[in-house]
Amino acid sequence: MTTPVYQNFINGHFLKNQSGETFAVKNPATDEVIYHVEVADAFVQNAAIESAKQGFATWSAMAPIERSRILLKAVELLRARNDELAKIEVLDTGKPWQEAECVDVQTGADVIEYFAGLAPAQVGQQQMVGEDFYYTRKEPLGICAGIGAWNYPLQIACWKSGPALAAGNAFIFKPSEETPLGAIKLAEIFIEAGVPAGVFNVVQGAAEVGQWLTQSADIKKVSFTGEVGTGKKVVASAAGSLKDVTMELGGKSPLLVFDDADISQAVSAAMLGNFYTQGEICTNCTRIYVHKNVYQQFIDELKARTEQNIIAGDPMDPEVNFGALISKNHHDLVMGYIDKGISEGATLLTGGKALSPESAPNGYFVAPTVFTDCSDDMTIVKEEIFGPVMSVLVFEDEDDAIRRANDTHLGLAAGVFTKDIKRAHRVIHQLQAGICWINSYGNSPAEMPVGGYKQSGIGRENGIETLDHYTQTKSIYVGMTDIESPF
Ligand code: NAD
Please choose, from the candidates 196, 187, 189, the residue with its C-alpha nearest in 3D space to the C-alpha of residue 169.
196
pLDDT in tens, 96-137: 999 999 999 999 999 999 999 999 999 999 999 999 999 999
Q: Span 445-459, mean pLDDT?
A: 98
| C-alpha of residue 321 to centroid of ligand 1, in Å | 25
Going by CA atoms, what residue is nearest to atom 8 of ligand 1? 176
Q: Give dist(CA 80, CA 67) in Å, integer.
A: 20
Q: Is 374 a catalytic residue?
A: no
- Active-site residue flag, 16: no
Confidence of residue 80 (pLDDT cuts 50, 70, 90): very high
Mean pLDDT of 4-25: 98
* Marked catalytic residue, from 26, 95, 138, 160: 160
Q: What is the pLDDT of residues 398-439, one digit of tens each?
A: 999 999 999 999 999 999 999 999 999 999 999 999 999 999
% of the chain residues with pLDDT over 70: 100
Does ligand 1 come within 6 angstroms of the Cβ of 383?
no
Q: Is the pLDDT of residue 1 over 90?
A: no
Quickly state the pLDDT bin for 4 (edges 50, 70, 90): very high
Q: What is the pLDDT of residue 464?
A: 97
Alpha-carbon distances of 471 from 67, 143, 251, 475, rounded to whole Å: 15, 11, 28, 13
284 phi-psi bin (left φ>0, alpha ψ -120 to 50, beta other): beta
Q: In angstroms, what is the span from residue 149 Cα to ligand 1's centroid?
A: 4
Q: What is the mean pLDDT of residues 61-73?
A: 98
Residue nearest to atom 40 of ligand 1 (CA): 248
Taking the CA atoms of 366, 367, 368 and 369 in sequence, report the sign of the dihedral they define.
Answer: negative
pLDDT (average), residues 59-64: 98
| Tens of pLDDT, residues 298-318 | 999 999 999 999 999 999 999
Q: If you take atom 43 of ligand 1, which residue's CA is the nearest one?
A: 282
Q: Is 183 in the pocket of ligand 1 (CB under 6 A)?
A: no
pLDDT tens-digit profile of 203-228?
Answer: 999 999 999 999 999 999 999 999 99
Kindly name the residue from 177, 178, 248, 384 that is annotated as catalytic. Answer: 248
- Which residues, including other chains, have CB under 8 Å from residue 483's CB and lie 6 or more apart? none
322, amino acid identity? F
Residue 355 has pLDDT above 80, yes or no: yes
160 is catalytic: yes
Q: Is 227 in the pocket of ligand 1 (CB under 6 A)?
A: yes
pLDDT in tens, 253-288: 999 999 999 999 999 999 999 999 999 999 999 999
Instruction: Please give the number of the atom of ligand 1 that sits closest to the Cα of 326.
Output: 25
Question: What is the pTM for the complete model shown?
Answer: 0.98
Write the CA distances from 410 to 251, 306, 330, 391, 413, integer angstroms. Answer: 6, 27, 21, 16, 9
* Residues facing residue 354 across a β-bridge: 366
What average pLDDT does the chain have? 98
Q: Is a pLDDT exceeding 90 seen at residue 39?
A: yes
User: Is residue 35 pLDDT above 80, yes or no?
Assistant: yes
Q: In this predicted model, what pLDDT tens digit does every residue of 465-481 receive, in sequence order?
A: 999 999 999 999 999 99
Residue 2 — pLDDT band, cuts 50, 70, 90?
confident
In 3D, which of 31, 3, 4 has the Cα closest to residue 314?
31
Mutation test residue for ligand 1: of 225, 384, 409, the one with most atoms within 8 Å of CB: 225
